Each structure stands twice: as C-alpha cells, then as structure tokens.
Amino acid sequence: MIHKRTWSMNSPTTGISSTFRLSRMLSLLFTAGAAAYAFNAPVTVVQQRAAVSPTFRVEQAPQMGATIRELRDRVSSVKNTKKITSAMKLVAAAKVRRAQEAVLRSRPFSETLERILGGLLQRLKTEALDIPLLQQREAKKVCLVSITGDRGLCGAYNANAIKKTEARIKELKAQGVEVELVTIGNKGSTYFKKRVTPVRKAIPCTQAPSAKQATEISSELLSSFYAGDFDRVELVYTTFISMISSVPSIRTIVPLLPGGIEMEGDEIFKMSTKDGQLSIKKEPIKAAAPQEFAPDMIFEQEPSQLLNAILPLYLNGQILRTLQESVASELASRMSAMQAATDNAKDLQGRLEREMNRARQAKITQELMEIIAGADATGA
C-alpha cells in the first residue's frame, strides 16, 4: 500500500504563527533524529525533506510487516509451521524404525532361501536347465518398474527417481527397444500418465511394504513375462546410503542370471541417538553361503522342479527388499527436509521478532515525541 502524505500551511491558524510552527518542526526533527538514532532507526532524507518542506509529498514503499500486528501474526504463523515440521520429522523417524524392524524380521527367511537357492544352482550347474526365469531373450520390449513415493515433502527423492526413469527410457528407445512402465507410488503414476510412454499398471506404494504387496507385484510381472508381453524387467529404485544421501539405481530382476543369481551382500541400517541427535549405524552382511547338498542326496522331486518353485519366492523377496529400501530412502529424505524446514522457520522467526521489536521501539519513540510536542505546544 502506498501512503501519500501532504502537508499544507494553509490550514486555519490556532494562535501560533507560521514561522513559529516551522521552527517547532525543525526542533522536533532534530529531536526525532536523535531519538531514532538511539533506537537504531535513523531518519531518512525523505523524512527530513517532508518535515522541512510543508508541501513535500512523501510516497513510502511497502515494507514487509508494516505494522506490529502483522508482524506478530507472522511470528505466530512461523511458530506453528515450525511445530508441524518438527512433528513430521519425528513421525518419519518412527516410521524408519518400523521399516528397520520389518527388515530384521524378514532376514532369516530370505537368508535361508538364498542358501537353498545357491546350493541348488551349484548342484545343477552342469545340467541344461529348462526354467523360464533363467532363459535369456533378445530384448525387444522392456518393462520398467519405477518406485516413487505416494506423498511429497521429502526433498528430491521423487524428482530423482523420475529423472532416473526418464533417462533409462530415453536410453532404451535410442537402442530401438520398446518400453512399458509399471509405476509404484502415486507421484510417479501421476507424472507418467501425462507422458508418451504407456503405463501398464499403477500401484500405490505404502510406507510399510508387506510380503503380500510384493507377491502381487511379482505375480503381475511373472505372468506378463511368461506370456511374452516383454522380454526383460528392470527395476528403478532408490538405494539407501545414509540419512542425507540416497542414489537412484537400476537393476534387472527378470530374467535371472543362472551363474549366480548374483547373491549380493547387504547392509542393515540401525537408527540410534547420539548427543540428542539421530544417527545411523551401518552393519554390512555378507552374502549367504550356498547350502551344501551331499552328492548322493535323493530329492523327492527333481532339483529343477524345486528350483522352478523357489525362484518366484526369491523374486518376491528381492522386490520386497527394494520396496523397503526405497521407503527407507523416502523417509530419510523427509526427515532431512523437515529438519531443514524447521531450521529455516527458526531463523525466520528470529528475524521477524527482531523486526517486530524495532517496530515496537519506533512506535514508542513516536508516541513519546507526540507527548513532548503536545506539552511544548501547550506550554507555549
């Protein structure tokens, strides 16, 4: 708002001559300058010209928080925002702990499954295996599974995952390979539905992935792979590195490599507190050693049939693992983003409170000057 202030000497006299009023204005000007300097509010040249020249028109530029009431309201709003962001950080930390416990509970089953699978692969490495999940095809059409989050306020987590997916789509199309998408997470689904690449299926990503959800996803992928709808399935997920770092990664999950399904090592992330701050401890875990079967062991079923039944379970476990890792990355990104928002709100609150104190001091100074001017005028 632009305030226009016009002073005129043509107003009716009140018993005081114009010369006396002008000298009074000059004395008030110097008094105001000294008082304002004491309160760190110097009088500007425009204000001096307005005080000296009665017909000078002042146009003040709008300033942030023009009145004390507006500043007080803004401080209250920033305080409420800081409480919300701090609470969201604590909620994300609690969810990270639950995700960590879910990973620890599922580890014994996944380790046993990997050991049996590795032993069967070693037992059958000299045989010709007729297993669909191990058959390599010429990639003419690829299904790209992109994992994002359902909600925002998690920093660059969703944006990085989407950028990685778009880069992979562009790379595959440059090689003459058709691409179909399976999106996990509402953010990725909303984004890619407006793009050229067809979306085969959109699945929401909860913040507590379960084995049932992983089974539904793997069943959809396996049935389409067996039907020949596509020749390869690639997974775009976010690798959890630390509380402030996560990297989008690409991994081929179908078909599996018969030379070892590439039993990979893993890391367990344990959240703890140190000096009042949240911290993450990494515990590296080596790949499970293959189960040793005696050469003369007789299987009730053919080892190839057992392998054909175990591979889908292994695929379910890998999908569940990537979902849990992506969710952990999302929650860690949200914690970092909410911590940064809380720090920014604290800084903004301090600056607004200082500005409000200056405005209050300026108002008190103005009231004192008006009282002194009124007393002098009455005494004269």
Question: Which residues participate in catalysis according to the annotation?
Answer: 154
The answer, yes or no, to whether the previous bond of 204 is cis (omega within 30 of 0) is no
C-alpha to C-alpha distance for 205 and 147, rounded to whole angstroms: 8
Angle (CA) 38 40 42, round 5°: 90
Judge whether 288 and 263 are in contact, CB under 8 Å.
yes
How big is the chain by its Cα radius of gyration, in Å?
35
* N-terminal to C-terminal alpha carbon distance within the chain: 37
Angle (deg, nearest 10), helices 157-174 and 303-379 = 130
Give SS3 for 200: strand
C-alpha to C-alpha distance for 305 and 154, rounded to whole angstroms: 45
Q: Which of 188, 64, 145, 155 is nearest to 319 (CA)?
A: 145
State the pairing for strand pair 58-59/4-5. antiparallel
Q: Which of 136, 138, 147, 139 is nearest to 256 (CA)?
A: 136
Give SS3 for 147: strand
